[in-house]
A and B are shown apart, each in its own frame.
Chain A
Amino acid sequence: MIAALLSADLPYWAVSLLRVLGGLVAVLLPAGTVVYLFLFKMLSFMQSRLGPMEAGPYGSMQLFAEVGKWLQKEDIVPASAQPEARIFKMAPLIVLASTFLLVVVVPFGPDAWFTNFETGIFYALAVSSVSVLGILIAGWSSANKYSLLGGLRAAGQLVAYELPMVLAVIGVVIQAGTMNLQEIVVAQNAGSMFGWDGLGNPYVLTQFVAFLIFMISVQAELSQTPFDMPIAESELVSGYMTEYSGFRFLIFFIGEFATAGVFAMIASVLFLGGWGVPFSWFGWTTIDSIDNWMNVAGPLVLFAKMMALVFFIMWIRFSSPRLREDQLQRFAWKVLIPISLVNIMLTAVLKVAF
């Protein structure tokens, strides 16, 4: 990938190093921007206050200050969690690992991708469930009743909302005809709507229902309000994260926002056309005819689309109350899944018809 960009022959270790760095940037940069822009600033403005203003101009260095603060805190493992200390310490890493595993399959440009699986989206959905394990481990090994409640709620909720997510994606897959994320992007940007290719064929228009269901499921997968029963700050203090301090809490924290960014990236790949702009704007026809500068512009386009989607996720998060656990489950099983099944049937029928 990078070799193609630089048109030079790099040794394998250099390429691997660049990939690792690229992965880190791909995860941490959106996380940091999301945290600053939305959590610090947007939330503050919505609450009619200014937010952090001291650290850096308009508080832009606040995130670094926060990271530094968390890093220098004592790493406490509660006494009653000592028997399971190893698992207790491992849990945040599992959650973060699933984010990194998720980001490798997102295409950033025509040649700028980490991996190009034929079953890209299948892999992505499978791997996103790994974080459930991490949360459950965190909740249970904390030896704290509140954390246990949070962990159990999380397990139920995250598993329940996997299904609508998968079913929503199936609609996209049917329409694109492939599970490869790169080809889904190309299909959207090279396609046309009823013969007019001015905007490409973003699946958000045809798969509107699936888009909504996917975004709702993402909100639940991220444990954001209105689905934040696992954290439920006013009841469970911090849910499964209660007993974590210092670096491990930072990993949970970053993981939460990084995952938000990555899921938004996947959503924009599936529904908004990913890194691409409609090919007709520049006269491209296939993926090989794309100019090389798209490898630099592509990530920026994807970033912009991701920001738009995260904006909506955070907006809903900051303004709504939370659903109760049984209302949550009822919503997933009795409302979202039937609707997404209907969507799949309709898509299949219309795909054959058109």
Chain B
Amino acid sequence: MTMLGDRQQLAYIAAQAADARVNVELETEGMTLNIGPQHPATHGTLRIIARLDGEQVVWAEPSAGYMHRGYEKLTEVRTFPQVTALVNRIDWLGSFANEVPFILAAEKLMGVEAPSRAQHIRTILFELSRIANVSLFLGDLGVQLGAITPVFFAFRDREYVLNLIEAATGGRFHPNFDRIGGLKDDLPAGFVEETRVVMKKLRTFCDQIEDLLFGNEIFQSRTRGIGVIPKDVALQYGLSGANLRASGVDWDLRRDQDIPMAWNKTEFKVITHPDGDSFARCWVRLQEVRESTKIVDQLLDTIPAGPVMAKVPKIIKVPEGEAWVSTENPLGEMGYYVVSQGDQGPFRVKIRSASFNNISIVPWLLKGVYVPDIITILASLYFILGDIDR
């Protein structure tokens, strides 16, 4: 049975969308609670300062920066291949996906295009990173809400994907495999068959999670109607990825953009949800994992033959110019604005990370929610600290 009746649900949504006016009749002191930076709930060192009235939040503010590593300054003193190794570590759960937009921007400036085999393999690895990233999200979602069992299934099934990435690139977490002009190496023998097997396992995993977690009434009552983000607010804040699609905006950079990757050779659905609440965000991500497995299957069938590296000079000097490339990363839209002045390294790289925008909505979103809902909302927004703090 649902814990909130329909009328109560609508009232709750309405109260959240407007500014919460907390009724203080008794002269009581509010309590300031620090959630983090060390906390089991946050994906890393995020600190939320919340002012509470009982169990209701009056205002809340994330305080980021505990993991700021100064990426944009570092990129100014590195060469392009070194920057590639650096940007692996921004979103460390789906690392290959971080490299791709940067490499594409550099290739745009140089005027080279990777051979189609390289593009294809890049897309496969990109989607594998997405699956690895979001399947951990699905498991972790349970833990945030109190269900301690699904997370182990997530980690177990994610190991298969990480083994695939390791077989292809040599690194489970930080592949550092992309190069300007193509890839470092070709796929190992047996990769295609093994990946097909793993994709089947991942689909089973998705079904299991849907059964175990999403079908659970308690989960539904904890996430439905919580943290509703209307469409226009989402666009204003620059939310991206599943957060945007869960608010009903039909926008997927894989389908809508024309960049030299192999997505336009596959058919996949872009899944949106009209509600914009936490459940919608979680559900959209689950479906995206399913779609990713189908994309990988299609890509595996059609890998073209050929070289994996275009003809580029050994010491790469990227000509002058500015380029912007963004891709549909597991966390959202990640983009790099690369400014080059003809050197071996960039002049300025602006890293547009998805979680930075995703978390900037938190002060607006957390007014008037209960303390347990803070955790639910943060879990559903899904951020990685490396992405926020760079």
Q: Do A and B bind each other?
A: yes
Interface string of A307-329 (1 = CB under 8 A from B): 00000000000111111111100
Question: Which residues of chain A are near B147, meaning CB under 8 Å?
Answer: 225, 319-321
B3/A322 in contact, CB under 8 A: no
Sample of 11 A–B contacts (CB below 8 Å): A47-B153, A145-B34, A149-B371, A225-B146, A226-B218, A234-B145, A235-B41, A235-B372, A320-B146, A321-B218, A324-B370
Question: Which residues of chain A are near B213, meaning CB under 8 Å?
Answer: 321
Q: Which 5 A-B pairs have the closest CB atoms?
A: A322-B146, A47-B152, A321-B145, A327-B3, A321-B147
Shortest Cβ distance from A42 into chain B, in angstroms?
A: 11
Cβ of A237 < 8 Å from any Cβ of B? yes
A47/B146 in contact, CB under 8 A: no
* Interface-centre pick from A153, A318, A322, A324 (highest chain B CB count, 10 A): A324
Given contact pairs A145-B31, A149-B55, A326-B370, A234 touches B143 in the complex (Cβ within 8 A) = yes
Shortest Cβ distance from B154 into chain A, in angstroms?
A: 11
Interface residues on B, range: 35 or more
Report which of B1, B55, B149, B373 forms a contact with A47, defined as CB distance below 8 A: B149
Question: Which residues of chain B are near A330, meaning CB under 8 Å?
Answer: 3
Given contact pairs A145-B33, A327-B3, A237 touches B221 in the complex (Cβ within 8 A) = no
Question: Which residues of chain A are near B142, meaning CB under 8 Å?
Answer: 321
How far is it, in angstroms, between the C-alpha of A235 and the C-alpha of B153 when the chains are bound?
A: 22
Shortest Cβ distance from B275 into chain A, in angstroms?
A: 18
How far is it, in angstroms, between the C-alpha of A49 and the C-alpha of B4 when the chains are bound?
A: 36
B149/A325 in contact, CB under 8 A: no
How far is it, in angstroms, between the C-alpha of A296 and the C-alpha of B40 when the chains are bound?
A: 47
Interface string of A328-345 (1 = CB under 8 A from B): 001100010000000000
How far is it, in angstroms, between the C-alpha of A327 and the C-alpha of B225 when the chains are bound?
A: 14
Question: Which residues of chain B are near A234, meaning CB under 8 Å?
Answer: 40-41, 143-146, 375
Shortest Cβ distance from A62 into chain B, in angstroms?
A: 18
Interface string of A251-287 (1 = CB under 8 A from B): 0000000000000000000000000000000000000
B218/A237 in contact, CB under 8 A: no
Cβ of B172 < 8 Å from any Cβ of A? no
A48/B156 in contact, CB under 8 A: yes
Cβ of A46 < 8 Å from any Cβ of B? yes
Cβ of B290 < 8 Å from any Cβ of A? no
Interface string of B20-56 (1 = CB under 8 A from A): 0000000000010111000111000000000000010
A325/B3 in contact, CB under 8 A: no
How far is it, in angstroms, between the C-alpha of A347 and the C-alpha of B232 when the chains are bound?
A: 57
A226/B152 in contact, CB under 8 A: no
B216/A321 in contact, CB under 8 A: yes
> Closest residue to B220 on the A side, CB-wise?
A321
How far is it, in angstroms, between the C-alpha of A145 and the C-alpha of B148 when the chains are bound?
A: 24
How far is it, in angstroms, between the C-alpha of A226 and the C-alpha of B218 when the chains are bound?
A: 8
Shortest Cβ distance from B371 into chain A, in angstroms?
A: 7
Question: Which residues of chain A are near B312, meaning CB under 8 Å?
Answer: none
Shortest Cβ distance from A349 into chain B, in angstroms?
A: 27
B31/A322 in contact, CB under 8 A: no
B372/A319 in contact, CB under 8 A: no
B3/A331 in contact, CB under 8 A: yes
Report which of A46, A320, A323 forms a contact with B3, defined as CB distance below 8 A: A323
How far is it, in angstroms, between the C-alpha of A325 and the C-alpha of B56 when the chains are bound?
A: 11
How far is it, in angstroms, between the C-alpha of A271 and the C-alpha of B145 when the chains are bound?
A: 32
> Closest residue to B376 on the A side, CB-wise?
A324
B39/A321 in contact, CB under 8 A: no
Question: Which residues of chain A are near B34, meaning CB under 8 Å?
Answer: 145
How far is it, in angstroms, between the C-alpha of A322 and the C-alpha of B213 when the chains are bound?
A: 12
